[in-house]
Amino acid sequence: MPQQEENAPLFVEDFFRAKWREIMAAMTRRFGSARFGEIENAVQDAMERALATWPVAGVPDNPGGWLYMVACNRVLDGLKAETRGREKAPSVKQVLYPDDEAVPVWFGPLEDDVLQLIFVCCHPRMNARESVTITLRYVCGLGCGEIAALMLSTEQAVLKRLNRTKAKVRDHPAPFEPPGKAEQKERLTRVLQIVYLLFSAGYSATLGERLVQQELCREAQRLVDLLLASHVADDGRVWALGALIAFQTSRLPARVDAGGSLLRLNEQDRALWDREQIARGMVCLAQSMSGTGRSRYHLEAAIAACHAAAVSFEKTDWRRILAFYDDLLELAPSPIVEMNRAVAVMMVDGVDAGLFILTALRDNRKLRTNGLFYSLLADFHRRAGDMTKASEFYDLALTQSPNASLQRFLTDQMLACSVE
């Protein structure tokens, strides 16, 4: 019983995360994407009412249905006032597809409400950053701080972008026409990015108590499974992303210790790695090579495959990993890729070579609030024997890492520097 009480807040968090997506998708199908703001407020209000009333009155038999009903009633009340007592809200067809011929034909697994809404949010009328931001917030239920960390931005910038995008959707709600082949490829690029970022948010949580948010990882894998079972699976990027998620999922059981603190790759018990997920990843990676084109997902999956295939940390093929990072840096340059490549450089050419790369990145404004970057700087200085600088950067990493699990890890590392 004590263990159940201890885990109760985490269960509640996972439950509301999942229901947020389901209810947002269902209500957008019913009321239309032009009412994103109203729907968000209604769902938030329903969840706040649930937190206030359920502990007293008890959890209803169908808690998801209760939340949906309460949220819908709030939107309907607004619509009635807005339309002078009209009882029925406009359907998604009326709002988004006023022309019968414009109603999209969704194939098989793409009929899933959440996935369908992600495709709608990736309409080319919005730019890529707008699509990704509004989807992560309103469909996936991530907070502005989480989105900012994923997109190497600031919470204020994310909030401003959300407000601009909501206004754009509200003022120009129709027609959201079904994508043709060229537009479908454009939307798929954004859809894959969203699924990738959703998994990243679960794999390394930036906020809260836990390092890993399993529920977000499971949802990302569910979405990629739907894509793999659909007509868009002829795109090799879908299989490559499926491989990457499978490889990363395989490590989840070994990423934290019994107290929930981070375990680095060399500290993980590889016997805990999920062999079925690794096998799935290998199959998906092989299948991705028969698809069209190559992408960052192919290269990141190949890097993850190298780790999965190594029987130990010491047997890892770091030269091959470094070659993949070189290709990735050329194909999709970013400060995160450079930062991760520095680790491979260190393992191949020594700590000084890796430290040279990280030091050069200190002027990159996108990394100024990245706790992992400062943690790596600290680790490299510690390996080089400079405990003073290592402690300084661990302290800086602590200020930029609100996640409780990461804070425990960084505190332990900083204390270790003082006794070495």
Q: What is the pLDDT of residues 128-154, one digit of tens each?
A: 999 999 999 888 888 899 999 999 999
What are the φ/ψ torsions at residue 266 (nearest 5 degrees)? Answer: -75, -10
What percent of the chain has pLDDT above 90?
Answer: 48
pLDDT score, position 173: 61
**Average pLDDT rounded to a whole number, residues 304-322:** 95
In sequence order, the β-bridge partners of residue 262 are 256
The C-alpha atoms of residue 357 and residue 203 are separated, in whole angstroms, by: 25
pLDDT score, position 337: 97
For the stretch 169-191, pLDDT in tens is: 777 764 445 455 566 677 899 99
Question: Would you state the structure tokens that stand for residue 339, as one six-digit string?
Answer: 């930062």
Map residue 336 onto helix, strand or coil.
helix
The C-alpha atoms of residue 410 and residue 375 are separated, in whole angstroms, by: 7
Per-residue confidence at 321, pLDDT binned at 50, 70, 90?
very high
For the stretch 86-111, pLDDT in tens is: 444 444 334 334 444 444 444 456 66
The C-alpha atoms of residue 406 and residue 400 are separated, in whole angstroms, by: 10
**Average pLDDT rounded to a whole number, residues 28-37:** 69
- Whether the predicted pLDDT of 127 surpasses 60: yes
pLDDT score, position 90: 43
Per-residue confidence at 82, pLDDT binned at 50, 70, 90?
low
- Whether the predicted pLDDT of 295 surpasses 90: yes
Counting Cβ atoms within 10 Å, is residue 362 exposed (0-12), middle (13-18) or buried (19+)?
A: exposed
The C-alpha atoms of residue 155 and residue 166 are separated, in whole angstroms, by: 16
Q: Which of 23, 14, 61 is nearest to 42 (CA)?
A: 23
pLDDT score, position 34: 65
pLDDT score, position 10: 47
pLDDT score, position 38: 81
Residues 69, 47 contacting (CB under 8 angstroms):
no
Ordered by where they begin, the domains of the chain are: 7-93 (no CATH), 108-234 (no CATH), 237-317 (no CATH), 342-420 (1.25.40.10)
pLDDT score, position 259: 83
| CA quadruple 93, 95, 96, 97: dihedral, nearest 10 | 50
pLDDT score, position 87: 43
Which of the residue ranges 30-34, 79-83, 354-358 would you say has the lowest mean pLDDT?
79-83
Higher pLDDT, 79 or 313: 313
Q: Which amino acid is at 364?
A: N
The C-alpha atoms of residue 237 and residue 419 are separated, in whole angstroms, by: 47
142: Cβ contacts below 8 Å, ≥ 6 apart: 136, 150, 198, 201
Q: How far is CA 64 from CA 29, 89, 242, in A?
A: 17, 21, 29
pLDDT score, position 179: 56
The C-alpha atoms of residue 214 and residue 15 are separated, in whole angstroms, by: 12
Counting Cβ atoms within 10 Å, is residue 308 exposed (0-12), middle (13-18) or buried (19+)?
A: buried
Q: How far is CA 386 from CA 254, 349, 361, 379, in A?
A: 30, 19, 19, 10
Radius of gyration of the chain (CA): 23
pLDDT score, position 236: 92
Higher pLDDT, 246 or 58: 246
The C-alpha atoms of residue 294 and residue 286 are separated, in whole angstroms, by: 12
The C-alpha atoms of residue 33 and residue 27 are separated, in whole angstroms, by: 9
The angle at the Cα of 154, spanning 151 to 156, to the nearest 5 degrees, equals 130
Counting Cβ atoms within 10 Å, is residue 154 exposed (0-12), middle (13-18) or buried (19+)?
A: middle
Residues 37, 24 contacting (CB under 8 angstroms):
no
Per-residue confidence at 196, pLDDT binned at 50, 70, 90?
very high
Residues 131, 122 contacting (CB under 8 angstroms):
yes
Map residue 384 onto helix, strand or coil.
coil
pLDDT score, position 13: 67
For the stretch 369-379, pLDDT in tens is: 999 999 999 99
Counting Cβ atoms within 10 Å, is residue 56 exposed (0-12), middle (13-18) or buried (19+)?
A: exposed
Q: How far is CA 34 from CA 48, 171, 175, 341, in A?
A: 23, 8, 11, 42
pLDDT score, position 103: 41
* Cβ atoms within 10 Å, residue 353: 13
Per-residue confidence at 12, pLDDT binned at 50, 70, 90?
low
Alpha helices in 289-350 (DSSP H): 296-309, 318-331, 335-349
Mean pLDDT of the chain: 83
